Structures are given as C-alpha cells and as structure tokens.
Structure 1
Amino acid sequence: MLSFSKTRSCVQWTTSYLAGSLNRARPLSSSNNIINIVPFNNSNTFIRSFTSCASSRTSNNSRRINNSSQLFTHLSANNAPSSLFFNSSSSSHYTTSASAASTAHQQQQVDNSQQHGKGQTNNNSQQQSSSSSFNLLNYKKTLLLLLSGLSLAAYIKMFPDSEAALYARIFMRFQRAIRTALLVSINYKMLARTPLTDPSYPAKEKICQKDSAVKILELCLTNGGLYVKAGQYIASLNHILPLEYTKTLEVLQDQAPWRQYDDIAVVFKDDLGHYPEFYFKEFEKTPIAAASLAQVHRAWTRDNDEVAVKIQYPDLQANFESDVFTHKILLKMINYAFPDFEFNWIADEMRNVLVKEMDFVQEADNADRTARDLRDNPDVHIPKIFRDYSSRRILTTEFIHGCKVNSVEKIRALGLREKDVAQKLLEIASEQIFIHGFVHVDPHAGNILVRRHPDNPKMPQIVLLDHGLYRELDDQFRQNFCHLYKNLVLCNNEKVKKYSALLGIENYQLFSTIVLMRRFETASVGLGTKLSKEDLHKMMDDAMEKMKEINQLMKSMPRHLLLILRNNNLIRSINMDLGSPINRFSIMARYATRGINSKIEQGGFSMRRMVSRIKEKVSFEARLRGYEFYYWLMAISLRIMLRLGLFSPEKQ
C-alpha cells in the first residue's frame, strides 16, 4: 500500500503536469491566467489556479467549465473543506478528499452533459455566424467585381484608343456574332420539327427566314465593317436565297450605320494635316451614303467643283483582324455542324482581298486604269479623281447625279428602259472580263449608278463607283476563259473539258453548272433567259447532295475564277432586279469571241488573220442566232398550247 507521502507526491506531479499541459496548449498573455508548475502547498492555491485556467479556456472548448465560480460553488455545496487537497495534517483527510472528489467528479459529468447541450447551441450559433460571414464575403466580392467593371468601362470610355478598349470591342463583336449564329441555328432547328408535307410549313418557313434575316441585319448594323460587306454579298444572292433575306439585307448596300462628323474629321486631320473646312468651301456633315468600309459626304472645293468625299471609318483597320478571326470561327462552327460545308479558306481569301480594298490610293489607281480601258465605250463613265484631297483613307471624286442601277421606278422616272440599262451594264462587265482582263469584282447595286447619257438623253449611261476590288487576269488565262465560255454557251462538251483543264478545273461538268446556273447535263442549257422555280429547286437539291464536291472544287479553283464568279453573280442579281430583260449568255458569249479575236488584232494586219476572224465570227453568230430562234419559237409554241388548253404543266 502506497504511503501518504508517495501518494501526495504522485498527485502533485500529476497536477503539475496537467497544469503545464494547459499552459503549453495555449500560452496566454495575461499574467492572471498563467499556471505555475510548482507543488501546491494547499488546496486554495490549486483551486485558484485551476479555475483561472478553466476560465481562460472557455472560448475554445465548450466541454470545459466556463465559469470558475461554478466549480468553487460546486465544491462548497458538497462540504469540501478548504484543505481537502493535499493537507498534511492527517491521513484521514485523504479519504475524505477522495470521497468528495468522487462526488465532485459525478456532478462534473452532469455539468459536462448540460454544457454539451449548450455547446451544440453554440455550434449552431457559430454556423450561423459563419454563414453570415460567407454571405458578407460574397457580397464584398460581388461589389468588388462590379466596381472593377465600372472602372474598366470608364477607362475604355475615356481612352477609346487604348489596348483595353480594343480587346473589349473584339470580345463584344465576337459574342454578338456567335449569339446571332446560335439564334439562327435554333430557328432552323425549330422549323425542322415541322414536316415538309405539313400545310403550315411554307408559312412557318417564311417566318423563320424573315426572323433570321432580321437577326443577321442587326448584327451587321451593330458590328459594321466586314459584317456589312458580308451582308451586302448575301443580299446580292437573289438568284439563290429567298426574298426574305435579300430584301431585308439590301439596305446594307448604301445605308449602313454612319459615324458622326467629329469621328471622321479626325481622319482628315491625321491623313492630310487639317480638318475638312480647310480644304473645302462647303462640306455637308451628314453623309449621303454609308457602306461597309466608308461613308460618303457631299462637298464643294474652293474652285466650286462638286465632289463626293469618301472617308474610311476610323476604327476599321483596328477591328479588321479580329473580324477576320471571328469569321474563321463562324465558318469552323458551320463546318462542325455540317461536315460537307468546309469553306474555312474563304476567310483567308477575304482577308487578302480586303487588305487592298482598304487602301484608297490603290482604289484611285484602279479607277484611272479602268477609265483608260473603257475610254472608247461611251456608255460608261468613271468619276474623276481629285488626288490633292485624297489619301489612303480618303478618296475625293467627281460628284455624280443619278440613281441606283436596280431602282426600277427611278429608272423609269428618268425616261429610260430597264432592258437598255441591263444590256449596257452587262456589256461593260463583259468587256472588262473578256477584252481587257481587268475585272471589277464588287459590282453590287450600291456601287453602280445610272444617269441619262449626256449625248443621248433617251439612252442610259452607266457610272461605275468603288474601284477598290479588282483582279487582273494574265493574257493566257483570259484567252482560255474566253474559249471556255464560248463553248459553254454552244454546249461543245469536248472543248469545255479541254479549256477547263487548262484553267485548272478537273470536274468540268460541276464547274459549268456553277458558271451557267443551269444543269449542264441538259442540252443547250446556256441560252435560256430565265431560270424557272422548278429548275432552281432541282439545282439547289443537287447542290446540297454534292456539297462536298462543290467545296473541293471551289477550294482548288484558281482565285481568278473565283472572283469572276463573284462578278457574274452580282451582275446576275442586278439583271434579276430589273426583271431579267436580256439574255446574259448570248451577250457574254459574243464578247468572249471578241476576246479571242483581240489577240489576232494585236498581231498586226494580215489578210489571213482577217479572213479567219470573219469566218469564225460568222459561224459563231449563225449558231448563236439559230439557238436563240429555236428557244424563241419554243416559247411561242408553249404559250399558244397553254391558251388552247392543249398543254397542262400540272400534268407533266
């Protein structure tokens, strides 16, 4: 049995160790809460020290006694004497102390149980407090982000030419384009849920097309620049696309969004050194037209010359690369959705072409050369260039009074006929392609005016504007294309195949269909004046089935041919707006024959060459007029049969 002295030493050591553990667990700065690891001489010393420590540890552990007075009261309630611990007066006190300690321990367990319930309540309070702190933190983060966004917006507003402003514009333009593409896709996905045989399908299709066209128009008007250029080309595809698209987007040809005078005046200051008022006696601050790359103002020089001043948008070049990048992304998205539609190369080709179009000095040079090429043609006029008031972003030309080439009502108001306008325009375009090899590849309606001929007011004169996009053909290429087109119209398949190969075209049948917008397999397809709706639908169905082949053909096609096709499509579009009053194929075929003979003329005079030229021309005209008479006779016969009821197209 242990002696009292050993027991006391053991208890003192244990008490000291526990007190030291508490000190080491949480060092406290207040001297009142420090427990000294020394042997206790009496119980009061231990109680004071222990209750002080218990009080200091309340906030960290809810199971500990959080009020020192509670322990002291508890011990007193159990008649514990002040010397119940470690009193050396007699050994009987140890037994009393042990009994009291046992009772105190049991009561402490009860208190601890109660305290545990309070601890759970404290935990709930702490969780609520933590949740409140978390919400407050989120609020602060949201407020910080909001303030950061407002600060960035203010900075972009104050410094629109900064790099941050540039990236902000790029992002906004990009997200608008992606959003529009997704919305148009959703429109057609919703339309696809309606069966083609459903009686309501045509009406739903028109609504879908109109809504999609409006969305595309909004995108073009908001983003401007290259988006307007793309919208202009879509508007010209009236021989392929529904009227809902072409009529909605045709406003982009000369009514694109325009900039305030202060914005374009800066371009004058940067490029020429002074504001417009320095150079012009009068300068109208409101533009008379706005297109994809620039807007046009009317002005008068100090010599009283009435001029049209074309001014490039100040942010066009800054947005150029990002717009081309966005178009690449859109084409990749289309390619992902429709694997056969792989036209990603279009973006690179468009970039190469538009870089030249943004240089107005190059445009002025193109205009001067076109004026020289067409100087012997009295039916065309090229406005005079005023070089002193021009730069890379400013082009000043002679002002022309006239109307748009496809404005039927205004043409009639001038006392002119649509057929004469269409024929003169097509002859000019054909002369550029087949004779001179210097081709205007952007002849949409907004770039062409019509006025009364100065020498013959009853006949039209065509005015060519906007000479930014041209393509020069080498002589060998021009000659091969002349032979190709001539034989396309005459349906000489062997020679069509031969000259297609010389131009780098392998699938000559598909290429011929694209050029003529007729099914090449049909006999004598090249001379019809109009394309029926049935033929158009059939051709479009065939095109969808052969989309992969068309893509490969267009991708491998020489860029000269690609831009010639663009020229043909735009002229065809204008011809359709005028009611298709002329036979495009016969006119172009005649100029193709002249282009072939132009090489003979360059070789000087020779009786043999002259006889060969006359023989070829007579033979060609005889065949051409024979085909024309045949189709005219067939058309008259069909009309007579329809009137007599001998023929019903519904039964065929």
Structure 2
Amino acid sequence: MSSSKILTAIRDITRSKHRIAWLVGGTISSIAGATYILEDKNVDKTSLLGFVRLGRTFVTVTSIVVDYKLSLFGKEPSMSDYQPTKNNVHLRSAKKLHSLCCKNGGVFIKLGQHLGALDYLLPEEYVNTLKVLHDDAPQSSLDDIKKLVAEDLGKTDNIFKEFSPVPIGTASLAQVHRATLMDGTELAVKVQHPKVKAYSEVDMKSISFLLNSVAWFFPEFEFLWLSGEMNKNLPLELDFVKEGKNAEKVEKLLSHFKFLKIPKVYWELTTERVLTMEYCEGGRVNDLEYVNKNNIDVNKVTRDLGKLYSEMIFVHGFVHCDPHPGNVLVWKDSNGQQEIILLDHGLYLTLPNEFRLNYANLWQSLIAANLEGIKLYSQRLGAGELYPLFACMLTARSWAVVTHGIDQVERSSKEDDIIKASIIEYFPQVSKILNEVPREMLLLFKTNDLLRGIEYALKIRKDASSFINMSRCCVRALAMHEVEQCDGWGCFVRVLVNANYNLFKIRVYELVTRFMSLPLMQYISSILWTKEPFEVQPTKVLL
C-alpha cells in the first residue's frame, strides 16, 4: 500500500473513531437518562416511552455503524472477500432495523415499509428483510382497541352486534376489525393504534436522527428526502376524516370504471382515529392461491390497474400513493364480473398542473423513444444532466431499451442483471436525483415501484399493450390543457381534431397489436419474417 493510501486510511479511521465515540456517548447518555426517568414517578409515561424509543434508535444506529466500520476495516473492493463480507453486514444491519421498527412500531413501521420499497436504491438484503413489514406489522391488543373506540364512539357492545377480536388487517398506523351492526350490516372498522399520534413527534425526530447519522457516516447514502416526505405526509395519514373524504372524491372521479370498488364510508361512525367502512369480500391481489382458485384473470387485473393509475395521474392529478398488495383486493361476483377494491385512502398526491403536464409529455416521449423530449421534460422535472438515469429509474428499463423503445423490447433476465449492476455503479447519482427532483416525483416513484411489485407477484411482464391506455390518458390530459388555453372556436376545433386523430392512431395501433398477437398470426409471421431479436447490452447511462 502506498504512503498516501496509508495516510488516507489513518485519517478515515481517526474521523470514524471520533464519530463513533460521539455516537456511543450519545447512546450511553440516552440509556442513563431513560434509567433516571424510570425512577421518577412524576414523569408523563408517554414522554418516558418516547425517550426510550429515541434511546433504542441510538443503540441500533450505533450498532450498525460500528459493524460496518469494523467488518470492512482494511478491506478493498478488489479483494475476493470484500463483497461477501459487505453482504453479511447488510443482512445483519437490515435485521437490526427490522427489529427496531417492530419494537418502536407506528411511524417506524412506515419507515421500514418505505425502505422495503426502494429496490432501485437499497441492497437486496435490506429490501427483502424490510418489505415483509407490509404484511407483518405489529398488532395492538383488543382491549386497547376497544378503549380507543369507546373514547371516540361509545362502547363497542352498544354499537356492534359483533366485533372480531382478531384484526383482518394490520398496518403501520392502524388495524382493521370486521364488525356487524345491530341490523346485520357488515362493516370494516379501521382503528388507529393507540398512542401512535402521541409518539409521532418524537418518532419523527428519532427517524431524522437515524437518517442524518447515515448521511454523516456514509455520505453516498442520502436519505434526508425520506425524512422530509414522512414529516409532510404523516399528519395527513393520521386523519381518518380526511381519508374518508379522499375515498369519496376518488370514487366520483373514477365512477366510469365499473371494475373499481371503493368501500362506502359510514360517517356517523367515523372520527379522526376511527374510520368505519362497508365490508368488501376479496383476496389480496398478490395471493396467487386465491387468484387461481377464483379464476381471476391476472392480465385483466394489471391492465385495469394501469387504466386506473393512468387516469389518476395524467387526467385528474389526484393519485392514491399506497397501492401495496394489502390495499388492493380482487373479487369476482356471482355474475363473473371482476372487481378491484381499492383500500387505504389516507395518502393522496395532488399534482400541480405544470408538473402533471411535464410528466405526461415525458411519458409520451418515453413511449415514442423521443430522446430530445426525454431530455427536455426530464430536465423540467429536476433531473438535470442525469436525465438518462432518471428515465431508467422511471421506467425500470436499461438505457439501451429506453433509446430503442420501451414498448418494443420484452424485458429479460439479462436486462434485470444489467439494471442491478447499474444501481450499484450509479448509486450516488440515483441518491442525488432523489434529493433534487420535486417532492411529487418521490411519491410517484414509490407508487410505480409498488405497482411493479404487484406485476412481479402475479408473474406479469409489461408488453406493448400496457402503454396504450397510458398514451390515451396523456393525449387527453394535454388536449384538455390546450383547450383551456384556447381563445376562440378555431383553436378549440383544431385541438379537438388533433387529439381525436392521435386517439384514432392509438386505437389502430391497439387493433393491430391484438391482431398480430393471435396464435395464427404469430405462426405466419414467424414463417414470413425472420426478425433479429433486440439484444440488450450494458450501456453507459452517464458519460
């Protein structure tokens, strides 16, 4: 090792020791403070438990930082044991974070769910360990739940004929119990976890500390944007009256989709902490056993979800931002009609018009492989000179495919491997994009990732037809904006003619695509035309 490398290593270790000493000192102080407060009978117990949760966060962060520093000390990326060692540290650290989230509960479960959805950013050890929090959130006791319901509505025995002792669903901030009114009406009662609102302030400070500590020790991991998003969105998700209003609003906006079911809200049994809704039968969208048993058409499910979200994003700019599998149910009624039941309306994103139109133009450019348009509208959305990487993050496709046409090339395992390698190579740039794009973009990234997760669970790959309805919605959104800018009949007619012409072209393309996908046509084309398959090669995204 050269003398300059030795000096650099000594400098890094010295800095790390100072930082670790500060962190360990903070942890010891937290534990000592918590011990002292435990002996003080006059201290408010909520404040005490909040302090304990903060101390638990200190301990976990210290343990993770020390593990990384000690395990990787003296190792170079070129060494054969470097990556296996690092992977083991990732796994140990992910398990510690999972344990912290489960012990602290509430907002920390929400943090774990966020991190578990960042498969384009975090090592797979973190993603695989934390994503289970979508299905395995801790439950509150039945006594605590009934006590909260009694405080807000009255005793459950006076309101409900039956109230299930075991929740039918548990999430980070609440859990849902099946109940029956005295007249036999079946309900789903969503009850906020007791104390989650009381703990939210100190929990967010703990999470900010955790993320700032990560940024300090590992500058390439910039997750401060996540803390900002959670601070902004948490109060909205803790207000169940707001959630009920969101549900009614989206039901009106999307009433023309007959396949969509939004549970009815019972306002007389709803408060900020208790949301009472109609009970809907159905199975989780990613439950393949239920899907197969009930002959659910998974291709129709993903197409309908695509229609739903294209309409929300491009046309209305009012977007349900938490479509994880627990919030999307599927059901087939006695007439054989499939339904998608959309739950949990606490977090909606209202897109500013300028953002929505730039986003629509960007997707039109991506579908058309229009590189000038991709650059222009990516930069308008804050990507700067990192626009190729931004396009890859948005589509979850390689740059070679983006430039060729995302609707022209089927995704392959080779492309998946290229994307995984690129995440590692461009990690600092990905983190930079997430810190610089508008906040709306972060929620759309999360929404896109969750929808892709559903497709993956159902073993569905996007094909050319997946982009057809998205194209329609983009055309409609841009035409509606142009009509609003018109100052005369001539302009109005020109815009309508142009929009309908574009919609006609999309319809023709759709019919041709369906016709060519028929088994007979595929057989004929395989005989008459020998088309070389597009070979996805590793391509430099950034020069």
Equivalent residue, structure 2, for 1:218: 99
Question: Do structure 1's residue 477 and structure 2's residue 344 form an aligned pair?
Answer: no
Tell me how far apart the structure 2 counterparts of residues 242 and 531 of structure 1 sit (CA, whole Å). 21
Tell me how far apart the structure 1 counterparts of residues 414 and 421 of structure 2 sit (CA, whole Å). 11
Q: Which moved more, 1:411-420 or 1:434-443?
A: 411-420
Equivalent residue, structure 2, for 1:117: none
Once the two structures are TM-superposed, the CA of residue 340 in structure 1 deviates from its matched residue by: 3.1
Residue type of the alignment partner of 1:269: A
Question: Do structure 1's residue 588 and structure 2's residue 470 form an aligned pair?
Answer: yes
Match of 2:497 among 606, 611, 634: 611
Equivalent residue, structure 2, for 1:557: 437
Match of 1:271 among 142, 152, 166: 152
Q: Secondary structure at the match of 1:341?
A: coil
Once the two structures are TM-superposed, the CA of residue 192 in structure 1 deviates from its matched residue by: 7.9
Map Cα deviations across residues 358-394 of structure 1 (whole Å, 9 max, x no partner). Answer: 0000000000001101100011110000001000000
Q: 1:192 to 1:463 in 2, by over 3 A?
A: farther
Tell me how far apart the structure 2 counterparts of residues 477 and 260 of structure 1 sit (CA, whole Å). 44
Map Cα deviations across residues 105-133 of structure 1 (whole Å, 9 max, x no partner). Answer: xxxxxxxxxxxxxxxxxxxxxxxxxxxxx
Question: Do structure 1's residue 493 and structure 2's residue 341 form an aligned pair?
Answer: no
Once the two structures are TM-superposed, the CA of residue 598 in structure 1 deviates from its matched residue by: 4.3
Once the two structures are TM-superposed, the CA of residue 181 in structure 1 deviates from its matched residue by: 3.3
**Map 1:352-431 → 2, pairs under 5 A:** 352-431=232-311
Map Cα deviations across residues 256-311 of structure 1 (whole Å, 9 max, x no partner). Answer: 11111221222223323x22222212112322221100111110112211001001
Structure 2: tracts of 5 or more residues without a match: 1-32, 527-531, 539-543
Residue type of the alignment partner of 1:495: G
Match of 2:393 among 499, 502, 514: 514
Once the two structures are TM-superposed, the CA of residue 184 in structure 1 deviates from its matched residue by: 4.0
Tell me how far apart the structure 2 counterparts of residues 552 and 244 of structure 1 sit (CA, whole Å). 22
Tell me how far apart the structure 1 counterparts of residues 164 and 52 of structure 2 sit (CA, whole Å). 32
Matched pairs, number? 487
Once the two structures are TM-superposed, the CA of residue 627 in structure 1 deviates from its matched residue by: 10
**Map 1:132-211 → 2, pairs under 5 A:** 153=38, 163-185=43-65, 188=68, 190=71, 208-211=89-92
Once the two structures are TM-superposed, the CA of residue 199 in structure 1 deviates from its matched residue by: 7.9
Once the two structures are TM-superposed, the CA of residue 433 in structure 1 deviates from its matched residue by: 0.7
Equivalent residue, structure 1, for 2:136: 255
Tell me how far apart the structure 1 counterparts of residues 160 and 459 of structure 2 sit (CA, whole Å). 42
**Map 1:287-326 → 2, pairs under 5 A:** 287-326=167-206
Tell me how far apart the structure 1 counterparts of residues 424 and 515 of structure 2 sit (CA, whole Å). 34
Tell me how far apart the structure 2 counterparts of residues 329 and 580 of structure 1 sit (CA, whole Å). 40
Percent of pairs with identical residues = 31
Tell me how far apart the structure 2 counterparts of residues 180 and 150 of structure 1 sit (CA, whole Å). 18
Q: 1:630 to 1:182 in 2, by over 3 A?
A: farther
Question: Do structure 1's residue 567 and structure 2's residue 453 form an aligned pair?
Answer: no
Kindly indicate whether the alpha-carbon contact (under 8 Å) linking 1:441 and 1:470 is maintained by their aligned counterparts in 2.
Answer: yes
* TM-score normalised by L of structure 2: 0.78
* TM-score normalised by L of structure 1: 0.66
Once the two structures are TM-superposed, the CA of residue 344 in structure 1 deviates from its matched residue by: 1.9
Tell me how far apart the structure 2 counterparts of residues 413 and 253 of structure 1 sit (CA, whole Å). 24
Match of 2:342 among 464, 471, 479: 464
Structure exhibiting the larger radius of gyration computed from Cα positions: 1
Q: Which has the higher contact order (CA 8 A, sep 6+)?
A: 2
Equivalent residue, structure 1, for 2:30: none
Q: 1:307 to 1:428 in 2, by over 3 A?
A: same
Q: Which moved more, 1:616-625 or 1:342-351?
A: 616-625
Once the two structures are TM-superposed, the CA of residue 205 in structure 1 deviates from its matched residue by: 6.7
Residue type of the alignment partner of 1:466: D
Tell me how far apart the structure 2 counterparts of residues 199 and 511 of structure 1 sit (CA, whole Å). 32
Alpha carbon RMSD of aligned pairs, Å? 3.9
Tell me how far apart the structure 2 counterparts of residues 599 and 395 of structure 1 sit (CA, whole Å). 36
Once the two structures are TM-superposed, the CA of residue 167 in structure 1 deviates from its matched residue by: 3.3
Structure 1: tracts of 5 or more residues without a match: 1-147, 157-161, 641-645
Tell me how far apart the structure 2 counterparts of residues 550 and 238 of structure 1 sit (CA, whole Å). 12
Q: 1:371 to 1:205 in 2, by over 3 A?
A: same
Q: Secondary structure at the match of 1:526?
A: coil
Residue type of the alignment partner of 2:143: D
Equivalent residue, structure 2, for 1:444: 324
Tell me how far apart the structure 2 counterparts of residues 569 and 346 of structure 1 sit (CA, whole Å). 15
Kindly indicate whether the alpha-carbon contact (under 8 Å) linking 1:530 and 1:580 is maintained by their aligned counterparts in 2.
Answer: no
Tell me how far apart the structure 2 counterparts of residues 209 and 342 of structure 1 sit (CA, whole Å). 17
Tell me how far apart the structure 1 counterparts of residues 354 and 54 of structure 2 sit (CA, whole Å). 43
